[in-house]
Amino acid sequence: MNDTHTPTPSPQEGSDTPSIKYLLGRIWRRKVRDNKSSLVLLVSFIVVFAWWFLQQLQNGQIISTTLSPRYTSLPAGYLSSEISRETISINVKMNNFNILSYMVGELPIEIDMSAVVEKKNGQHFWVPSKFPTLLSSGIHDGDELDKVTSDTIFFNMGDETVKTINVLAPDVQVKPRSGYEVFAPIMISPTQVKVIGPKNEIDAIDHINLPAISLRGISGEVHDTITLSAPEGYRRLYFSPEEVVITAIAEAYTEETVTIKVFPANAPRGRKVQFIPSSVKLRYHVPLKNYGSVSAKDFRIEADLSSRSNEGENIVYLRLVSSPSNIGRVDIIPEKVYYLIK
């Protein structure tokens, strides 16, 4: 009975390198089946595989590997590990013997966040496939980036929301130059700003307090710019606009005096009250530009009998209950009066 051998395909015509399937087939036929030797099989397999592997490297073997990015140019308060821990999967066409470095571990690469970041719907992200030249810097010299298999990488900066909050006036210590006084209230511009950041931080803030400032020796209109900063513990908030302007106006003034009648307040029902003196003087500062525009009828002085002085019987302090808006310091002379209830 004649042995029948299944023919083994020969290398394809036009191919200089035999396929590994063809070589292993020859080993099986000539060494293992005929010689029945496991040692011969193992040695032959290692030799053929090594030869085939070197041929693949020479021809440009494509291998999958992973890049581990470290981000630079980060927003204030962030660390690279907080931004993202995602790696980047790529295919590399090797022209050198770097297979072990690609197969073992991850290759480090430095990514300038400001050069790749995109933002949409409050999310920060980047698409590695848009930056093949940048990613090529992470592989070995002489090798070639074949394909980027990773999809979009999102940054862990929180879903940003926007909220409008009030800007509260600072504690302003004003000491104008001699002969000047601040008559108008300190102005803030703008009085509201937008705060932007993660929702959990946005929800916990509804206003921002400006730091105390000191304005000394001022005359005329003075502006002080304050850069807004998030309260302690809120690392990821920022503001739009980032600055507010404090405006104070110190005007030259003159001093005037008027005589005002004293009116009772909270007097006993059905009783008449007599004050001694019945009229007092008001000394006040008024801007030079408003000189002569203020008269006695613009003021009202009251003596509140429900808050009598403890200094003695029938003594009550006076209070100014109405006055023009364009005056400054006011002194009441005297500041207390005697009263008689009839």
**CATH code of the domain containing 286:** 2.170.120.30
Q: In DSSP terms, which residues pair with 232 in a beta bridge? A: none
pLDDT of residue 312: 60
Is 260 in the same domain as 335?
yes
CATH of the domain at 165: 2.170.120.40
- 266 and 319 in a single domain? The answer is yes
36 and 77 assigned to the same domain: no
| Phi, psi (rounded to 5 degrees) for 226 | -120, 125
- Indicate whether 6 belongs to any domain: no
Residues 288, 236, single domain; the answer is no
* 98 and 170 together in one domain: no
For residue 5, tell me if it sits in a domain.
Answer: no
User: Tell me, what's the pLDDT at 100?
Assistant: 67
Output the pLDDT for position 187. 92
Q: For residue 6, what pLDDT is reported? A: 47
8 Å CB contact between 335 and 302: no
Torsion angle in degrees (nearest 10) through CA of 50, 149, 153, 117:
100
Q: Are residues 241 and 257 in the same domain?
A: no
Looking at 126, 154, 182, which one is the last position of a domain? 154
In angstroms, the CA 49 to CA 43 distance is: 10
Q: Are residues 112 and 98 in the same domain?
A: yes
Tokens of 87: 């790696």
Q: Are residues 289 and 225 in the same domain?
A: no
Which among 107, 127, 109 is positioned nearest to 117, based on CA atoms? Answer: 127
Q: CA 326 → CA 109, 178, 284, distances in Å?
A: 66, 19, 11
**Residue 24 has which token pair?**
């292993």
Q: Could you tell me how many helices (H) and strands (E) the chain has, helices first?
A: 8, 23
Pick the last residue of a domain from 205, 236, 252. Answer: 252
* Amino acid in the structure at residue 144: E
In terms of Cβ atoms closer than 10 Å to its own Cβ (0-12, 13-18, 19+), residue 170 is: middle
> Within the chain, which residues score under 70 in pLDDT?
1-45, 48-60, 96-97, 100, 121-122, 158-160, 308-312
Select from 227, 252, 277 the last residue of a domain. 252
pLDDT digits (tens, 9 = 90+) for 208-230: 999 998 999 999 999 999 999 88
The DSSP output letter for 99 is: H
Please check whether residue 3 lies inside any domain of the structure.
Answer: no
Same domain, 174 and 149: no
Domain of residue 82, residue span: 61-154
Domain total in the chain: 4
CB 113 within 8 A of CB 56: no
Per-residue confidence (pLDDT) for residue 284, from 0 to 100:
94
Report the alpha-carbon distance of residue 234 to residue 227 in Å, rounded.
Answer: 16
Give pLDDT, residue 33.
Answer: 53
29 and 90 in a single domain? The answer is no
